[in-house]
Amino acid sequence: MECRSIKELIVRYSSGDLEEAEKVLVDEHVRDCTGCEQYFIRSEKLWGTLDAWDEIEPEGEFVTKFWNNVSVQENKAKAGFFGWLKGFKPNLAVSGALATVFIVGIFTFALLGPGTLDGVFTSGDEKDEIILSELDRATNSEASDLLAIYGPWDNSFDANGGMN
């Protein structure tokens, strides 16, 4: 058997994974081969050498620390929305300014928007209404005359001076 194959068997020997028949093979080869004998010694020493890396003793209260970590995380999650709001605290002035602009905007629109005419009706507005009504009536009369070419048209609007 070649030394390379024997070395593979030697490692399995040291790992406790070799059948008795294979062990005999290794023992016989090692007796006559110095190189493999040295390899056998190194292989047998390997596992024990790895023990030179000592265990450490963890410092502090591991379990207590764990539950502290858990409660810190849970508090963070609970904070959720409120935490988000807290984050805006330093920008309170900006938020306040924006809110003011928004509210003032709404009031300005309410005072000067189209709904204002319905809210405050003055005598000037009444005159405007009469002019607009007359204009409307004249337009209707004109339109009716023009549309007459298409057949009989209801002119009752004109006759009655308003809607039936």
N residues, the chain: 164
Stretch binding other proteins (CB under 8 A), from 66-74, 86-94, 97-105, 109-117: 66-74
Residue 34 in contact with residue 1, Cβ under 8 Å?
no
Long-range contacts of 72-77 (CB under 8 A, 24+ apart): none
Q: How many residues bind other proteins (CB under 8 A)?
A: 37
The reply to whether 36 sits near Zn ion by the rule CB under 5 A is yes
Stretch binding other proteins (CB under 8 A), from 44-52, 105-113, 125-133, 135-143: 44-52
The reply to whether 16 sits near other proteins by the rule CB under 8 A is no
Selected from 2, 32, 51, 118, the binder of other proteins by CB under 8 A is 51
Q: Which amino acid is it at 123?
A: S
Selected from 3, 22, 35, 66, the binder of other proteins by CB under 8 A is 66
Residue 36 in contact with residue 10, Cβ under 8 Å?
yes
Closest approach of Zn ion to the CB of residue 16, in Å: 21
User: Residue 161: left (phi > 0), alpha (psi -120 to 50), or beta?
Assistant: left
Q: Which is nearer to Zn ion, 44 or 74 (CB)?
A: 44
User: In a 3-state reduction of DSSP, which class is residue 113?
Assistant: coil
User: Residue 153: left (phi > 0), alpha (psi -120 to 50), or beta?
Assistant: beta
The reply to whether 11 sits near Zn ion by the rule CB under 5 A is no
Range 70-89, binding other proteins (CB under 8 A)? 70, 73
Residues that bind Zn ion (CB under 5 A): 3, 33, 36
